[in-house]
Structure 1
Amino acid sequence: MRSIISYQGRNALRNASRWKCRAPCAAIRWSSSEDRQWSTPLAKQLSEAITATGPTPLASFMRMCLTSDVGGYYTSKQDGRDQFGQKGDFITSPEISQVFGELIGIWFVAEWMAQGRKSKGVELVEIGPGRGTLMDDMLRTIRNFKPMASSIEAVYLVEASPALREAQKQLLCGDAPITETSIGHQSISKYANIPIIWTENIRFVPSGKFLYGTSRHHLTRDLDQDKTPFIVAHEFFDALPIHAFQSIPPPPLNSESTIQTPTGSHPLSPSAAKKEAQKGPQWREMVVSPAPPPPTVGTSSSDSAPEFQLTLSSAPTPHSLYLPAISPRYRAILSQAPGSVIEISPESLAYASTIATLIGGSSSSTTPSSTFTSAKRTPSGAALILDYGPSSTIPINSLRGIHKHKHVSPFSMPGLVDLSVDVDFTALAEAAVNASEGVEVHGPVEQGAFLQAMGIKERAEMLLGKIKGDTDADENRKRIDTAWKRLIDRGGSGMGKVYKAMAIVPESGGTRKPVGFGGDVDSSA
């Protein structure tokens, strides 16, 4: 969810936010949080929690900063504060140009056509809808394709923030009332009276037929019919918490081995310690602790000064023992590149697995992730993931903070700074195909190439041609022309190279590529 207005150079961004690994956490000392001035109430709460239980995983720190009920970045509502747009902290592609959302809507229309033009059971799902701009542009576009529009039974918005849910409701539903349901909230779209349903977790999106009560307060399921979910996740995965690990040489055979848990360090038995020492290089988790307070004499303090820091755990943690073992990619790095740092997002993998299950059903070796998920008779639907990160390598040192369109330390002003990381697209693809035998993954491809294949230039030219010769004509032409070119530009402040697109679609044995990923629109289906 985080494109800043001045996206000046990837290297500058990385250098501005690069982690600083301090001494092992066991050596860290800090004074009571009562004696220190903290930038936010959340900063004080985090310090007190760490003082009580010890350094916390980076994922826990990120989760608190973004979603805590005590001043979390997305979950708190503050007067005059808006995370998005020119007056906020960052700007997203849908906010830059309406053409972006229109083309995403057309992509799903193309998938609907390629999958047989289903007349019912279609669901639109957006994970992390922001202010609702993308879904608004998608619905406005899809209503022009009346057969598909009439097939949509509901729109699901996966949103945990009450403040953002309110903004989405105002944009998508206007004055229509909003009511509570068994899985969240519900209202009616201003487009074709389609139900808009809010839920906090994608696992509550049903895979079976959903029937709406007359009062819209209760929902019942009929699993006799599979659903066709069309899912979009735009700048969502970059906001999910990560665990970070660094490889270290094996400890000496005569050293006392311990494991780090939330209740402290605990020694291993002699046999377990010897076995641990013989394993070779090991992963240690990067954890967060309060940074030393800044000097108070002869210096000026800054709100953006880091109040927390990353440290290297002095002993294995439960996360370091199992997360890097889930993929051969991580195991290969441990043996081949000592001193390496890797990032892993378990929540991202869980979301990718659930998305794949909704589209392709559960693999025989897995179990459904919720009571709403069932084995589909025929895979259907599609997911489009748009975010930023490397095409195939594992992200490293990617944590960044953004505040008022400027790069700041991700360890400053907790709750007021947006945190984001690079997305591991390969890990998402692995999680998807492992979760469901009924899906295949295409991409990632650069956003610029994807949008050009979808016809962004032609659509922008249509908009430019509709501008009349009024007093604002030149300014409007410049705005439209600058906006669409920024979305595909591969350098400077452009988003065409850094941002990527990935598609999860029903398994076809490689016989059909989605449009934008090397395929064409199949109008004959």
Structure 2
Amino acid sequence: MSDSLKDRLVREILLTGPMTVADYVTRCLHDPKGGYYATRPALGERGDFITAPMVSQMFGELIGLWAVETWQRLGAPEKVRLVEVGPGDGTLMSDALRAARLAPAFLEAAELILIEPSQPLRREQEKRLADHDLSPRWVRSLNQVETDAPVILIANEVLDCLPARQFVRTEGGWAERRIGVNDANELIFGLTAINDGFDAPDMDIEVGQVLEISEQQAGFARDVATLIAQASGAALLIDYGRAKPEAGDTLQALKRHTKVGPLDEPGEADLTQWADFPLVQEAAVRSGADVTGCITQAQLLGRLGIEHRAASLARARPEAEPVIRRQFERLTSHDQMGELFKAAAIFSPRSLIVPGFEA
């Protein structure tokens, strides 16, 4: 009997019934035997997808300087916890720590904590950060981060890995989109009627449109906000997603930088859904922290000085100027990552002015 993730999912669905989209995505990403992140994460140009830190060193450097400035605005405490959730292959933190050398007192005060459930990625992080000023401590969840010192937290492309259930408005009312099995034992999408218990949002949603609701994203926001409210500090969230409530099916699978069917090869491709910033911000406020407005990645990087940094790199390496320009455009252009990717911060105390969100 085959023991591939797909075959196990088919058997489970046949036994227990159709699976929610959120449960399916979670299994595809984190199943211990066949999940994408648990067994075969492939990041970078030669992998399945690329993130902003891999586009250019400028991204991580500016985030590092953001952390230093946040620490200074917190009063430059003698102890601070620098936390990254989902550090990928360690590129962002590597570049951030290099930039932070401009402020030796910050590095002296900081303890580096990485939250990473994937063992393959943790090994990559360990190698990339081996020779840096701070030696990381790995934990598995936010509730393992102590609250006796301010926290500066970075979460780049974390929310899109926290899946959402999908609901569809039909002529007969609301139904949930779930994954079932057809007569050929293939995974298929279908609709399960909702008879009661669904609190539809106050939005103008047309028949046939998909509404995504992510309890995992809301839960993450609650955990971050609770940590920040108790410890003080700021959490910077950067991801592609929506800045206002709206309908839409955003589930996608990427393999070798190409979109594939989400049900085609469970565990073999990266599955994501858009970050829901309004949901995240509301959950954070309800948990006792304050939030900034939601801005684009282009706005954030512009306010943090990416144009100046790009010009500085080009002066130091004139032969690389065309490459630096392309990297700048990829990070900030409205038709690339600049507009689709958004940024928001969760912070405490209320008097703190979070760098990049002053306007």
Query: TM over 0.5: same fold?
Result: yes
Query: Within 5 A, what are the aligned runs for 1:349-368?
Result: 349-361=218-230
The answer as to whether partners of 1:450 and 1:517 remain within 8 angstroms in 2 is yes
Asked whether 1:382 is paired with 2:341, we answer no
Higher helix share: 2
- Give the SS at the match of 1:52: helix
The answer as to whether partners of 1:395 and 1:423 remain within 8 angstroms in 2 is no
Figure out how many residues of one structure are paired with residues of the other and give that number: 359
| Alignment partner of 2:177 out of 283, 286, 308 | 286
Q: Paired residue for 1:484?
A: 328
Q: Which amino acid aligns with 2:214?
A: S
Q: Paired residue for 1:343?
A: 212
Q: Which amino acid aligns with 1:117?
A: A
Q: Identity of counterpart residues, as a percentage?
A: 33
Query: Within 5 A, what are the aligned runs for 1:285-434?
Result: 285-291=176-182, 293=184, 307-316=186-195, 321=197, 324-325=198-199, 330-333=200-203, 340-361=209-230, 380-434=232-286
- Answer with 1 or 2: which has the greater Rg: 1
CA gap 1:61/1:166 in 2 versus in 1, 3 angstroms: same
Q: Paired residue for 1:201?
A: 141
- In the superposition, the TM-score normalised over structure 1's length comes to 0.65
1:291, distance to aligned residue in structure 2 (A): 4.5
Cα displacement string for residues 124-176 of structure 1 (whole angstroms, at most 9, x for unaligned residues): 11111110111111111112201111111x21111111111111101112xxx
1:512, distance to aligned residue in structure 2 (A): 5.5
**Partner Cα separation in structure 1 for residue 357 and residue 182 of structure 2:** 46
| Alignment partner of 1:159 out of 107, 111, 116 | 116
Q: Paired residue for 1:145?
A: 103
The answer as to whether partners of 2:242 and 2:277 remain within 8 angstroms in 1 is yes
Q: Paired residue for 2:8?
A: 45
The answer as to whether partners of 1:390 and 1:424 remain within 8 angstroms in 2 is yes
**Partner Cα separation in structure 2 for residue 246 and residue 202 of structure 1:** 33
- Give the SS at the match of 1:285: strand
Cα displacement string for residues 175-219 of structure 1 (whole angstroms, at most 9, x for unaligned residues): xxxxxxxxxxxxxxx333x34111221221121xxxxxxxxxxxx
The answer as to whether partners of 2:203 and 2:246 remain within 8 angstroms in 1 is no
| Alignment partner of 1:456 out of 306, 312, 322 | 306
Q: Paired residue for 2:157?
A: 235
The answer as to whether partners of 1:158 and 1:201 remain within 8 angstroms in 2 is yes
| Alignment partner of 1:500 out of 342, 345, 349 | 342
1:515, distance to aligned residue in structure 2 (A): 2.4
Cα displacement string for residues 275-294 of structure 1 (whole angstroms, at most 9, x for unaligned residues): xxxxxx5x322110125549
**Partner Cα separation in structure 2 for residue 128 and residue 156 of structure 1:** 11
**Partner Cα separation in structure 2 for residue 292 and residue 95 of structure 1:** 43
Cα displacement string for residues 3-23 of structure 1 (whole angstroms, at most 9, x for unaligned residues): xxxxxxxxxxxxxxxxxxxxx
**Partner Cα separation in structure 2 for residue 461 and residue 293 of structure 1:** 58
Asked whether 1:62 is paired with 2:19, we answer no
The answer as to whether partners of 1:391 and 1:425 remain within 8 angstroms in 2 is yes
Asked whether 1:134 is paired with 2:92, we answer yes
The answer as to whether partners of 1:389 and 1:395 remain within 8 angstroms in 2 is no
Q: Which amino acid aligns with 2:142?
A: I
The answer as to whether partners of 2:73 and 2:353 remain within 8 angstroms in 1 is no
**Partner Cα separation in structure 1 for residue 105 and residue 223 of structure 2:** 28
- In the superposition, the TM-score normalised over structure 2's length comes to 0.94
Asked whether 1:85 is paired with 2:7, we answer no
- Give the SS at the match of 1:383: strand
1:338, distance to aligned residue in structure 2 (A): 5.4
Q: Paired residue for 1:191?
A: 132
1:339, distance to aligned residue in structure 2 (A): 5.1
**Partner Cα separation in structure 2 for residue 512 and residue 158 of structure 1:** 25
- Give the SS at the match of 1:310: strand
Q: Paired residue for 1:516?
A: 356
Q: Paired residue for 2:293?
A: 443
Structure 2, unaligned stretches of length 5 or more? none
CA gap 1:486/1:339 in 2 versus in 1, 3 angstroms: closer
Q: Aligned Cα RMSD in Å? A: 2.1
The answer as to whether partners of 1:394 and 1:424 remain within 8 angstroms in 2 is no
Q: Which amino acid aligns with 1:359?
A: I
The answer as to whether partners of 2:47 and 2:256 remain within 8 angstroms in 1 is yes
Q: Which amino acid aligns with 2:128?
A: L
